[in-house]
Amino acid sequence: MELKIGLIQMKTVDSKEENLMKAEKMIKEAVGKGANFIVLPEMFNCPYETSNFIHYAEEERGRTWGFLAKIAKENNIYLVGGSIPEIEGDKTYNTSYVFNNTGAQIAKHRKIHLFDIDVVGGQKFKESDTLTSGNDLAIFVTPFGKMAVIICYDLRFPELSRLLVQKGVKLIIVPASFNMTTGPLHWELLFRARAVDNQVYMIGAAGARNYDSSYIGYGNSLIVDPFGKITDKLTEREEILVTEIDIAQVEAIRNQIPVLKHLRHDLYELIYKK
């Protein structure tokens, strides 16, 4: 089965229902262009602001979860539901749900590394004010190959991507919301680095840039192949990207430059024992 992936780069507003309606409209447009695997951006059902997370948070199997499951089944697609604020007990998480084409949940990722930064003269943000970090890997098997989901800031930690690849993952999906401080410098750099390091496809799905928001996202959703080449990319605007991906390229590249076969775990482990 051919993998035809669709990235949804949408603006969010201060209305969950409007955001869900926008997502549905854009998903159906991507399906109309042939997409059979669709990815939404980070926090697609609410504005990306710490004060919103608790207000918009839902339990698993809540309103947005049900919406995503229904959309996946009705359109016969695999769907990575970007991420949403998920509440469990007294904790709130930045969570991505993954559904297969029957509407069944096949994976769940709670953002492992929380985005707590304070760049001099630039962006300041502290997810840990309202969110709790997750501890589990989100690896899932599809007819197209083994995949995994990480969220935004998780991308900056090469150990996580390498761990996923060592478990057989050939495509890493990253719902994200880089900003105008980190985006221009690090967005493409990090995706290309993780792709080259691990000889894996890297998929970045971001929200569209909204200058009316207190947190202005970078946009520029992209696909990077296992040789480190950006094969497709959007701008900062509200757009849809639909393109075919050849997973066989992963093994082809790994055979040509067998980086993963040349790993020296006997030496690297010493780093973490100190």
Active site residues: 42, 111, 152
Amino acid at 270: L
Residue carrying structure tokens 């060592």? 166
Q: Are 240 and 25 in contact (CB under 8 A)?
A: no
C-alpha distances in angstroms, 260 versus 40, 158, 250, 256? 30, 14, 12, 11
- The distance from CA 32 to its chain's CA centroid, rounded to whole angstroms, is 22
Interatomic CA distance for residues 69 and 217, integer angstroms:
27
- Calculate helix-pair angle for 183-198, 158-166, nearest 10 degrees: 30
Residues forming a β-bridge with 98: 80, 107
Helix (H, G, I), strand (E, B) or coil at 212: coil
How deeply is 7 buried, as exposed, middle or buried, from its count of CB atoms within 10 A (0-12, 13-18, 19+)? buried
Q: Per-residue b/e over 162-199, b at no fewer than 16 CB within 10 Å?
A: bebbeeebbbbbbbbbbbbbbbeeebbebbbbbbbbbb
Name the token pair of 194: 């993780």
